[in-house]
Structure 1
Amino acid sequence: MTRVQQGPPRLQAWLNRLEVMGNRLPHPVLLFILLSIALVLLSALMTATQVSAQHPATGEWLHSRSLLSREGLLWMLNNAVGNFTGFAPVGPVIVAIMGIAIAEHSGLLACVLSRLARRASERYLSAVIVFTGVLSSIGFDSGYVVLIPLAALIFKAAGRPPLAGIAAAFAGVSGGYSANLMLGPVDAILAGISTEALSLVAPQAEVLVSDNYYFIIASTFLITFIGAWVNDHIVEPRLRSNTDTPLEQSVDEIANPAERRALRWVAAFSVAYLALLISLVALPNGLLRNPDATAMVAYPLLRGIVIFIALYAGIAGMLFGYLSGKFTRSSDWVLAMEKGMATLAGYLVLMFFAAQFVNYFAWSGIGAVVAIKGAQALAALQLPSTALLVAFVLTTAAINLLIGSASAKWALMAPIFVPMLYMLGIDAASVQMAYRIGDSSSNIITPLMPYFGVVVAFMQKHDERAGIGSLMALMLPYSVALLLGWTLMLSLWMLAGLPLGPG
């Protein structure tokens, strides 16, 4: 069993109280229903009192829209189904679970995870999970639907609290969403929005995809260190002290020769599958190669990475299941998928109501008004450049508690903040990086983040008492540590005059 130092007793007690208070909230489904009702009433009140804000870049006056109006009521009725089916966390989770369920019920996951847990250094397990989570952002949502539940199983196999695995993975995947060793889709999306915003005051200027590259590489290692330290010194000790059940190391040896042979076949299939994907990207006319020479070459592959992961897990699971003797009938793999889908019943109910609330918030326009008011308050501070960037980081982190989508929020905020700060002598790449820090740091503590409910559902598989308060208390130490550490690094980076990227 790993040696984990005890965290500060006062901090542990405070987090326990936060969890208790958070879990006194109604069931997450009821909470989203109540929040939706409150939002409907708030939108009507703001509309009746004519709360508005003027967009500083375009001069357009933005107003909130009442969900209690005829237009709002018809919109809610006509879009209830679409809000749910188009909600980002729904489709990828269902697809991924179908493939992973085959790998799980065939026994493949148990074999692989037990070997991984047995061979992995306990000292660096948290760091490996956080680091992998950070890198997973290159594959869009794959980290949320694949790595987070697997991290729980890896920690459990190593005799450590599975919720600590979930926390470490969530910290890397979501808290470290704006860091990586490679440029990915998020860099392209944000740079495009930044360029459009910058054109309002500098029509010939451009923010390149690579303009934050040096800084996000350094950020990857900073987040790995912070996430692993918080996990080992604060989160895991608290989880151990709060449970009366001793943790057992579930790493059974694979003694069955059939299972060993099946694993070898899975390993061979894995190499062949990876080689096929690489060839489909690398070949000049590859099916998964981006025809746009100026864009990311592997974009089609990354865009559909959840499908490829599910397909790999399904085929590998069937291969292992039939060769090991776990599967004996032709329909066993179908039954495995059905069992996996059965576990999503509570999750799908939660996602329906979460989708309504998130879309109500977006349609009402309340977030836009709040963002502009925040921008005006920030401009009035008249701070030095570095201090202004720090204030912008904190403003972004606060706004992120209300608007979850990184790209949608930046599309709203960039036309406001990029020209404003550019006129104060701060280049657009620095503003964009400050935004990414604030956005990522508070992702893991806001229930409005689309995958927050997903992670709660993953937690409940290991602790049925877990709720929104449990996850917020679990992730708050990471959020505070990332916000402070990452902001300090940006401040020192800017004071030293180091370039954020090759652009």
Structure 2
Amino acid sequence: MQGSNSPNGSPPHNDFDATEKNSRMQRFLKGVEWLGNLLPHPVILFVWMSVLLLVLSAVMSYFGVSVIDPRPEGASGRSADGMIEVVNLLNGEGLARIVENLVTNFTGFVPLGTVLVALLGVGIAEHSGMISAALRGLVMNAPKKMVTFTIVFAGIMSNTAAELGYVVLIPLAAVIFHSLGRHPLAGLAAAFAGVSGGYSANLLLGTVDPLLSGITQEAARIIDPAYTVGAEANWYFMIASTFLISGLGYFVTEKIVEPSLGEYNPKDADDASVLETQIEKVSTLEKKGLLWAGISMLIFCLLLAWTVVPADGILRNAETGLVSGSPFLKGIVVFIFVFFALPGYIYGKITGSIKSNQDIVDAM
């Protein structure tokens, strides 16, 4: 007993400070978890916001609330007095407005078509198993010192395939941490942080980018009906965010989350045998598929560069000769589709996950 205490019988000062810090961090993390669990499903939030909008429209219409229309004079839809008045959606006229425009509001939403086209290509790559194999290969072959950073980075990159990161990477991260003698929950948390916290960051353009650019374009056209926002508008910020979030995820996991979980002995874990049997390495056939898929990606990118980089490139703007406003940028969603569909198909044919044209249709 005396060996673990100071001469006056009290615990060592450093141990006390460490325990107090861990206790504070645990309380903070539990508070964050409690607040997060209070939030309802996003669909329910959307319903509540819609109901709130209906009520506010009636109240503000009753009080005659209006604002100055920011659009220039003569713009389509601008009233003669230059004011925008609140429309009551709870009276008969408002109900008719909702019913008559519900379908066109949905089908006329700019991001809808672009996201669907991009998802068709990503669907082939995901269905073939190419993206899953690439993520597993990236994480499982990472150096030990870089495992945490690589897991967070892979989580961020996984958003090109929508929810694949949640299904594949999060449990895989727990398995890898366990195999290294580290706490599986720390690996799980690191992967979840990358998949969720870095959802809109990436080194590649994915399905999220056409969606966000479409929403931005719709908002911008309130003032300028001819304004266009390409899917690549946020690309530089996305690239920088990818490395920033990966670094932050690494720091938080290594310095805060894992120390707060305490010592971990893989042999004493109840789920140790289960975790040990869940490691699925990338097979030789999958490596061959990834190699040829990567070659096809490279060839496609070189062909695309041939149409854009030269001054007389066929996908440049015919009037200005520039890349801005060119068919390349306007049709970039089509290239996102091909970028994922072509290597996904090649990977699937090599590994046998795509055997017929029906498999391609099912994937899309």
Flag whether TM exceeds 0.5 (same fold): yes
Which one-letter code corresponds to 2:137 in the other structure?
A: R
Please say if 1:73 is aligned against 2:95. yes
Q: Of residues 234, 258, 276 in structure 1, which corresponds to 2:303?
A: 276
1:151 Cα deviation after fit: 4.8
1:112 paired to 2:134:
yes
Q: Which residue of 1 aligns with 2:333?
A: 306
Q: Relative to structure 1, is the Cα distance of residues 156 and 281 closer, same or farther in structure 2, using a 3 angstrom cutoff?
A: farther
Residue 35 (structure 1) aligned with residue 49 (structure 2): yes
| 2:29 alignment partner in structure 1 | 12
Give 1:306 shift.
3.1
For residues 103-252 of structure 1, what are the structure 2 equivalents within 5 Å? 103-120=125-142, 121-125=146-150, 128=153, 146=160, 149=163, 151-152=165-166, 153-159=168-174, 160-161=187-188, 162-170=191-199, 172=201, 224-225=243-244, 228-229=247-248, 233=252, 237=257, 252=280
Q: Which residue of 1 aligns with 2:12?
A: none
Question: In the superposition, relative to structure 1, how do residues 83 and 70 fare at CA in structure 2: closer, same or farther (>3 Å)?
Answer: same
Query: Which entry has the higher C-alpha Rg, 1 or 2?
Result: 2
Q: Is the 8 A contact 2:349 2:355 kept in 1?
A: yes
CA distance in 1 between partners of 2:241 and 2:124 (Å): 36
* Matched position secondary structure for 1:78: helix
**In 2, are the aligned partners of 1:155 and 1:164 still within 8 Å (CA)?**
no
Unpaired segments ≥5 residues, structure 2: 1-20, 73-80, 175-186, 203-212, 225-234, 262-269
The 1:307/1:39 distance shift into structure 2, 3 A limit, reads same
Aligned pair in 2 of structure 1 residues 301, 163: CA closer, same or farther (>3 Å)?
farther
- 1:48 is matched with 62
Matched pairs, number: 284
For residues 113 and 119 of structure 2, what CA distance do their matches in structure 1 show?
A: 10
Q: 1:253 maps to which residue?
A: 281
Alignment CA distance shift 1:93-1:288 (3 Å): same
2:289–2:346 Cα contact (<8 Å) kept: yes
| Matches of 1:295 and 1:278, distance apart in 2 | 14
Unaligned runs of 5+ in 1: 134-142, 174-184, 197-215, 338-503
**CA apart distance, 1:115:** 1.2
* Structure 1 residues 217 and 288, CA gap change in structure 2 (3 angstroms): closer
The superposition leaves residues 170-212 of structure 1 with CA deviations (integer Å, 9 ceiling, x where unpaired) of 2636xxxxxxxxxxx89x98xx99x99xxxxxxxxxxxxxxxx
Change (3 A) 1:157 1:298: farther
Larger relative contact order (CA 8 Å, sep ≥ 6): 1
SS of equivalent to 1:253: coil
Q: Is the 8 A contact 2:153 2:194 kept in 1?
A: no
Which residue does the alignment assign to 1:101? 123
Is the CA contact 2:121–2:340 (under 8 Å) kept in the aligned structure 1? Answer: yes
Where does residue 439 of structure 1 map in the other structure?
none
Q: Cα gap change, 1:49/1:245 in structure 2, threshold over 3 Å: closer, same or farther?
A: farther
Q: Contact 2:292/2:346 (CA < 8 Å) preserved in 1? A: yes
Q: 1:115 to 1:284 in 2, by over 3 A?
A: same
Residue 91 of structure 1: CA displacement?
3.1
Displacement, 1:271?
A: 1.2
Distance 1:298 1:110, change over 3 A: farther
Deviation digits for residues 367-422 of structure 1, max 9, x if unmatched?
xxxxxxxxxxxxxxxxxxxxxxxxxxxxxxxxxxxxxxxxxxxxxxxxxxxxxxxx
Aligned-partner residue type, residue 360 of structure 2: W
Query: Aligned partners of 1:322, 1:278: CA distance in 2, in Å?
Result: 26
SS in 2 for 1:41: helix
Q: Residue 199 of structure 2: SS of its match in structure 1?
A: helix
- The letter of the residue matching 2:197 is A
**Alpha-carbon distance, 1:98 to partner:** 2.4
2:338 is aligned with what amino acid?
A: L
> Which residue type is aligned with residue 164 of structure 1?
A
5 Å matches for 1:328-347?
328-337=355-364
Cα distance change, pair 322–245 in 1 and its aligned pair in 2 (3 A): same
